[in-house]
Structure 1
Amino acid sequence: MRNNYLLALLSAFLLWFAWPPIPYTSGLLLVAFIPLLIAIEQIARGDYKKKGRKVFGTAFLTGVLWNTASIYWVYNAMNAFLPAGVSILIALIPFCLGPLLIALAFRGYYALRQKNQILVSFLGLIAFWVSYEYLHQSWDLAFPWMTLGNGFASTHQLVQWYEYTGVYGGTVWIWLSNIAGFLLFWQYRAKVAIYSNRMLGATLAGIIVLPIAFSLWKYNSYEEHINPSEVVVVQPNIDPYGKFGRISPNEQLEILLRLSGEVAKSNTEFFIWPETAISSSQGINEEDFRAHPYYEKIFDFLNTYRNGNVLSGIESYQTYSSQRTITAREYAPNMFVDHFNAAVLIDQSSKLDFYHKSKLVPGVEQLPFGKALSFMKPLFAHFGGTTGGYGSQSEPSVFYSQSGIGAAPVICYESIWGNYVAQYIAQGAQFIAIVTNDGWWGNTSGKDQHFEYAKLRAIENRRWVVRSANTGISGFINQRGDIVQHSSWWEPTALTQEINLNEDLTIYTQYRDWLAYVFLILTMLFVILLIIRRTSQ
């Protein structure tokens, strides 16, 4: 059994070593699961009691070590502004919940393996895994950061076909390669030819080479339609842990305006400012924002730029006379307030557009399963009644400039959801504007992973990504996923770039997670099969 644990450790190491932001290693994902599959097969064939539990435990070991090594920075952020007990509880979501679902996928595979041919069982494993990833992007405990297809973010040249499949195509590719590699190795070791070794070798080579060859052809032949727009991204570099103690909101705004003006051109159309760039200690009332001094300063700044628009993160709120939403809190008789992590578009007209962040961080920005777990709200009381209970909107909305340019206002964590970002594009967004504050994580790999993942959104939708991050990394990514410009970490700066707008819709934009839906159907069929066989025994 010790040998099986060592194999599980080897898979965990390979998965971590292949994961962004480590460069040039993502190809290891195509073989990283082979040691774990060998361990699972040895358990299935070995003389063990309670084999199902051993399969579960071995897979969980790989998952928890891989996840913890890759996203250790999550706890770094939580521990900084959450009480110790709460931070440990919330940390279970990224560190343990994903590995538990991974272990369940392998447990389901083992159940199929007992009664079915190995190829049928492997099809079930792929289906269970894709279903786990889809669940982990869809429920209130969502954390799709570790979706396997994200692992190719550092080598985006190899996955240009994400414009058809999204990241789930990468997940399936990884599993097909690992399964073929495992079968080839197992037959060679066991000296039993269930399938032709030559056929398996050719299959493995085809699985690896053909998608890469197609992707490289697509990468080198792709040409953007020339439809230019001048955009500025600003990185004010304001320490998020001392945002109101060390610098006033007005000083923050002055920094944003100064940096914007230093690089702006007369034809600049968009100024992109980071998450919560416009803020105050109490938040900004959306209904009264036009009368706010901050709005007047921004409006005056835009007078210099005929087609200029400011797209900025903002901490805002709305007031109601009744509790319209579950997140609204009563602060006076018949007066309720809903706080938002939001984005706003300000132009030279009297029009104001707000977007309320939808994909909220579980436990930090929202209470998971809020209605069922409303009794836990006192745990978040120390956040002043906002964090742990932000309001949101259910669907994305596009910001349109006076000249008709559509921008997708994607706030921080939302950029991990390929299907959600694609909804902006389907509604008419011609480029993706990510506003974020990765300063909470410090100078860790979290900020680099977040920036790298944005390349996948560019490929899926064939849209430029312009990214404004408070402390970095800010930059521009073209429609092939190439980083055209980027800032350094922890420096105040602004960048300007002429981007190409695009109106064409990719297959992925139109049908989004269609590949996941195929495997969800297969999962349901396999679960029904397992239930029928269990009840018939």
Structure 2
Amino acid sequence: MKRQIWLALLTAFLLWLAWPPIPFTSPILLFAFLPLMIALQEIEESTLRKKGYKIFYIAGLAFLVWNTASIYWVFNSLNAVMPTFAACLLSLIPFGLGTVLMTFSFWLYRKVARNTKPIIADISLIGFWISYEYLHQTWDLKFPWMTLGNGFANTPQLIQWYEYTGVYGGTFWVLVSNILLFRIWILVREQGTKNKEQRTIVIKKTYKKSLIIALAVWVIVPISLSVVVYSTFEEEINPSNIVVVQPNIDPYGKNHSYTEQEQLTTLINLSRQKAQVNTEFFIWPETAITGYKDEEDFRNTESFRTIGTFLDGFKNATLITGAETYLAYQNQKTLSARFVKENNLWYDSFNTAVAIENSPKLQFYHKSKLVPGVEKMPFPELLSFLNPLFEKFGGTTGGYGEQEEPTNLYASSGIGVVSAICYESIWGDWVAKSVNKGAQFIAVITNDGWWGNTSGKDQHLDYARLRAIENRRWVARSANTGISAFINQRGDVVQKTEWWKAAVIKQDINLNTEITFYTAHQDWIVFPFLFIGAFGFLFVIVMKFKNRKSQLV
């Protein structure tokens, strides 16, 4: 088993090396799974007992090490804002569940491979893996950070075709490449070996050549087409002047606990440094406006009046800012609402993006992709009994309210903006749905200061580049402590700020109204593989039942 352990660790190392933010290494993903696949094949062919357990162990080791090395910052950030017990518990969501689902995909693959033809097993592996990724994007324990297609985020030159497939196209590309390599390895290993009848075990040499040609085409053609598109891509000139602000307010308040007005003063002073007469948008970060505001009474707050005075000097400008807001109800309207006895009312609190302009008009967008445990209790009807436990250990905020569908924020001129809050920007389908409703650029407002100076902040920035390519929209990213940036329609970071430093940047971006294939159809590539994954899972169950029945006979 030592050899198989080292092969699993090699796969983990290659996957980590290929993952953002390490630059220029993403093509390693195209062969990173090969050592693990070899290890699992060797276990299958060995005389070891309980092969299924050993396959699960070896695959689990590879994925646990990869996940830990790539998203270690999850525990770092959680531990900083809550006691260690709650942080450990919530860390199981990305670390534990992600690892288990990845491992389960390969374990099922080996089960299918044991009972059917190689090509069927290979197709099943793609179905199992993409099914896992889609599940981890959609259920209440969602955390699609480690979707394989995200791994190409810092090499946009290679993935311009994401405007048709989105990140699942990248996942498909990686899996097929590794499978072809594995099949070539099988043929190379067995070529020339003969059984007792002196008959060649492997398929003909021509088949090996065909696989090599298929692999070359599979890898080279997408890259070549992407490089051509990248080098010839031209944006339609439709400029809009945008100012992005990075106030660098310590989220932990270790150095200074800002009052609400002090925070607004900092934001406004920074905004004025780059503002122009023709500035159309100011972008401020997540929760720039603090101290929960009643959305029904927002216009009567001091914050609104202060912002209004600032915008008086920029008649054509709209401010997109993060805010903490709430709505009050006479009766419980949502599962996330809480009852306050003193007021005899139900309340929903929101992580909100607000659009404010030179008029009484206000627009609100409520963050809907909420962090499991921290911002939303997963499966609230089923697990509501855990609320006291999380509250006792300083964990979950109790559950923000959310929207069922994405909506855009609009300037008085009619320009539509996607206002992705924090890690909503890693949901390609969610952002695309907003763009499909008329958004002409994407604003990402976030507070990555919770994560500290780790790779998490860099990965989060890189993932925004994928949204730019998928939708051919500029991204204006405002992060409280950094990294704030402007990203063009082909995924290049045109400007970015330094980490943990107050800054303001401006850019004339090009608005776009054209709809890409991905924007119109989102994750269309997923659904055939969900069917394949479900069919493969049923096949494993049926075979297990048949094997037990034959043993009894």
- The answer, yes or no, to whether TM exceeds 0.5 is yes
Which amino acid in 1 is paired with 2:296? E
- Structure 2 CA distance for aligned equivalents of residues 193 and 457 of structure 1: 44
Give the alignment of 1:202-351 within 5 angstroms: 202-242=213-253, 246-280=257-291, 283-331=292-340, 332=342, 334-351=344-361
- Structure 1 CA distance for aligned equivalents of residues 109 and 286 of structure 2: 42
Identify if the C-alpha distance between structure 1 residues 244 and 292 changes in structure 2 by more than 3 Å, giving closer, same or farther: farther
Q: How big is the shift at 1:135?
A: 0.2
- Name the SS of the counterpart of 2:507 in structure 1: strand
The partner residue of 2:497 within 478, 487, 490 is 487
Q: Does 1:418 align with 2:428?
A: yes
- Structure 2 CA distance for aligned equivalents of residues 502 and 384 of structure 1: 44
Aligned residue number for residue 73 of structure 1: 73
Give the alignment of 1:364-513 within 5 angstroms: 364-381=374-391, 387-513=397-523
Q: Does 1:22 align with 2:22?
A: yes
- Structure 1 CA distance for aligned equivalents of residues 189 and 376 of structure 2: 51
- Structure 2 CA distance for aligned equivalents of residues 291 and 496 of structure 1: 30
Q: How big is the shift at 1:382?
A: 5.6
Show structure 2 runs of 5+ residues with no match.
192-200, 548-553
Identify if the C-alpha distance between structure 1 residues 427 and 345 changes in structure 2 by more than 3 Å, giving closer, same or farther: same
Q: How big is the shift at 1:193?
A: 3.5
Q: Does 1:100 align with 2:106?
A: no
- Structure 2 CA distance for aligned equivalents of residues 337 and 242 of structure 1: 27
- Contact 2:373-2:395 at 8 Å conserved across structures: no
- Structure 1 CA distance for aligned equivalents of residues 361 and 421 of structure 2: 21
Q: Does 1:358 align with 2:373?
A: no
Deviations 1:403-436 (A, max 9, x none): 0000011000100100111110111111000000
Q: CA RMSD in A?
A: 1.5
- Structure 1 CA distance for aligned equivalents of residues 297 and 390 of structure 2: 28
- Contact 1:367-1:388 at 8 Å conserved across structures: yes
- Contact 1:322-1:334 at 8 Å conserved across structures: no
Q: Does 1:129 align with 2:138?
A: no
Q: TM-score under structure 2 normalisation?
A: 0.94
- Structure 1 CA distance for aligned equivalents of residues 100 and 301 of structure 2: 49
Identify if the C-alpha distance between structure 1 residues 149 and 174 changes in structure 2 by more than 3 Å, giving closer, same or farther: same
- Name the SS of the counterpart of 1:154 in structure 2: coil
- Structure 1 CA distance for aligned equivalents of residues 540 and 300 of structure 2: 63
Identify if the C-alpha distance between structure 1 residues 490 and 534 changes in structure 2 by more than 3 Å, giving closer, same or farther: same
The partner residue of 1:193 within 202, 206, 212 is 202
- Name the SS of the counterpart of 1:373 in structure 2: helix
Deviates more, 1:361-370 or 1:384-393: 384-393
Paired residues in the alignment total: 535
- Contact 2:417-2:443 at 8 Å conserved across structures: yes
Deviations 1:355-402 (A, max 9, x none): 110000011111111111001111333699971311111111111110
Q: How big is the shift at 1:244?
A: 11
- Structure 2 CA distance for aligned equivalents of residues 147 and 428 of structure 1: 27
Q: How big is the shift at 1:307?
A: 0.9
- Structure 2 CA distance for aligned equivalents of residues 386 and 214 of structure 1: 46
Deviates more, 1:216-225 or 1:468-477: 216-225
Q: How big is the shift at 1:186?
A: 2.5
Which amino acid in 1 is paired with 2:494? V
- Structure 2 CA distance for aligned equivalents of residues 251 and 316 of structure 1: 19
Which amino acid in 2 is paired with 1:139? W
Q: How big is the shift at 1:108?
A: 1.0
Deviations 1:505-536 (A, max 9, x none): 11111111111111001112222333344444
- Contact 1:464-1:476 at 8 Å conserved across structures: yes
- Structure 1 CA distance for aligned equivalents of residues 230 and 544 of structure 2: 49
- Structure 2 CA distance for aligned equivalents of residues 388 and 9 of structure 1: 39
Aligned residue number for residue 85 of structure 2: 85
- Structure 2 CA distance for aligned equivalents of residues 453 and 385 of structure 1: 27
Q: How big is the shift at 1:79?
A: 0.5
Deviates more, 1:294-303 or 1:140-149: 294-303
Give the structure with higher Rg (CA).
2
- Contact 2:241-2:507 at 8 Å conserved across structures: yes
Which amino acid in 2 is paired with 1:287? E
- Structure 1 CA distance for aligned equivalents of residues 307 and 395 of structure 2: 29
- Name the SS of the counterpart of 1:495 in structure 2: strand
- Name the SS of the counterpart of 2:381 in structure 1: coil
Which amino acid in 1 is paired with 2:2? R
Q: Percent of aligned positions with the same letter in both sequences? A: 54
Identify if the C-alpha distance between structure 1 residues 244 and 338 changes in structure 2 by more than 3 Å, giving closer, same or farther: farther
